């Protein structure tokens, strides 16, 4: 299981990395924790000539609250997310995703940027991030642009990231008072597993206790994590209760597009989208009630 041959670079600034990317283009791959790239290289699925490590770039390691936004550097590890009080306090659904990702060994290496950038439909972090309405910051030699995470994923392994761009930061508005979110995943076993279904839900109440904003995000049941639009429509404008969550679950189930594979049949996954939608909404509501 030897790796294909490659040149290795370890720039210390984003600018330096962008310079290298612009030079090498499609011949280069970024590496952070390497938990995805190394597997694909060992399997000979990928054989980049140039590997640019972003692990030495300190400016990608931040995790701060700045004004009304939470800023997470793309190099923040999943273990850091698990331990962060900021995440636990403001973004518990992301924390749930982080805590359910891989194993302690993987969590110590894998980064939030990598988990997004690899664009696996079953990844643990994107549903929570999308539920919170996260934006990603993409930087190249030409400049910086931001993109809602909703628009970032294009398909399994495919994203809006250009060959010369680096995903540098994730930005999330501090969730307002009266909002809550949760993430739940199901796999064949309790850890170190590719999810069969994962769902994150978020909703925010207005001062009358009416849901004014809702996002339900499903993973594993389509080519990329995506929003259950009909479930969100059902939620918005209503008061949260069990029956409403049930209806939202049914709608999410109908929105999902699971496929049969040897690990699980589509019927099961579709049914679980409903169950997990209900459960995440229920947990989100509990979190809102606990704020009061």
Residue 1 vs 208, nearer CB to other proteins: 1
Q: How far is the CB of 46 from other proteins (least distance, A)?
A: 16
Task: Yes or no: say if 228 and 256 are a contact pair by the CB < 8 Å rule.
Answer: yes
Q: How far is the CB of 261 from other proteins (least distance, A)?
A: 9
* DSSP annotation string for 186-236: E-SSSSS---SEEEEEEEEE-TTS-EEEEEEEEESSSSS-EE-HHHHHHHT
Task: Yes or no: say if 204 and 291 are a contact pair by the CB < 8 Å rule.
Answer: no
Residue 4 vs 176, nearer CB to other proteins: 4
* DSSP annotation string for 52-70: EE-TT-GGG--EEEETTEE
Q: How far is the CB of 268 from other proteins (least distance, A)?
A: 5
By three-state DSSP, how is residue 269 classified? Answer: helix
- Strand-pairing partners, residue 111, are 77
Q: How far is the CB of 189 from other proteins (least distance, A)?
A: 5
Residue 2 vs 8, nearer CB to other proteins: 2
- Angle in degrees, CA 104, 106, 111, rounded to 5: 115
H or E element in which residue 155 lies: strand 153-155
Residue 9 vs 247, nearer CB to other proteins: 247
Q: How far is the CB of 43 from other proteins (least distance, A)?
A: 10
Sign of dihedral through CA atoms 224, 273, 94, 101? negative
Paired tokens of 97: 């995703």
Residue 194 vs 229, nearer CB to other proteins: 194
Residue 215 vs 279, nearer CB to other proteins: 279
Q: Which residues bind other proteins (CB under 8 A)?
A: 1-2, 103, 186, 188-194, 196, 242, 245-246, 249, 262-265, 268, 271-272, 274-276, 278-279, 282-283, 285-286
Q: How far is the CB of 95 from other proteins (least distance, A)?
A: 17
Residue 26 vs 265, nearer CB to other proteins: 265
Q: How far is the CB of 188 from other proteins (least distance, A)?
A: 5
Instruction: For residue 88, give the nearest of 175, 204, 171 by alpha carbon.
Output: 175
């Amino acid at each position: 299981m030897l790796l294909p041959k490659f040149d290795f670079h370890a720039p210390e600034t984003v600018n330096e990395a962008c310079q290298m990317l612009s030079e090498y283009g499609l011949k280069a791959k970024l590496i952070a924790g390497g938990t995805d790239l190394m597997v694909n290289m060992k399997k000979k699925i990928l054989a980049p000539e140039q590997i640019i490590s972003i692990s030495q770039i300190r400016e990608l390691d931040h995790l701060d609250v700045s004004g009304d936004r939470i800023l997470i550097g793309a190099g923040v590890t999943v273990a850091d997310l698990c331990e962060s009080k900021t995440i636990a306090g403001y973004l518990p659904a992301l924390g749930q995703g982080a805590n359910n990702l891989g194993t302690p060994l993987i969590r110590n290496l894998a980064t939030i940027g990598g988990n997004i950038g690899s664009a696996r439909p079953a990844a643990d972090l994107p549903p929570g991030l999308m539920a919170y309405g996260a934006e990603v910051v993409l930087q190249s030699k030409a400049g910086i642009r931001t993109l809602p995470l909703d628009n970032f994923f294009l398909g399994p392994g495919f994203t809006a990231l250009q060959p010369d761009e680096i995903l540098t930061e994730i930005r999330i508005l501090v969730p307002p008072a009266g909002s809550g979110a949760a993430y739940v995943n199901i796999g064949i076993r309790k850890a170190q597993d590719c999810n069969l279904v994962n769902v994150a839900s978020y909703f925010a109440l207005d001062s009358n206790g009416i849901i004014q904003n809702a996002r339900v995000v499903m993973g594993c049941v389509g080519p990329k994590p995506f929003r259950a639009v009909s479930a969100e429509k059902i939620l918005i404008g209503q008061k949260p209760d069990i029956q409403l969550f049930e209806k939202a679950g049914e709608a999410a189930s109908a929105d999902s597009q699971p496929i049969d594979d040897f690990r699980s049949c589509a019927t099961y996954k579709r049914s679980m989208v409903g169950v997990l939608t209900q459960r995440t909404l229920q947990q989100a509501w509990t979190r809102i009630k606990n704020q009061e």
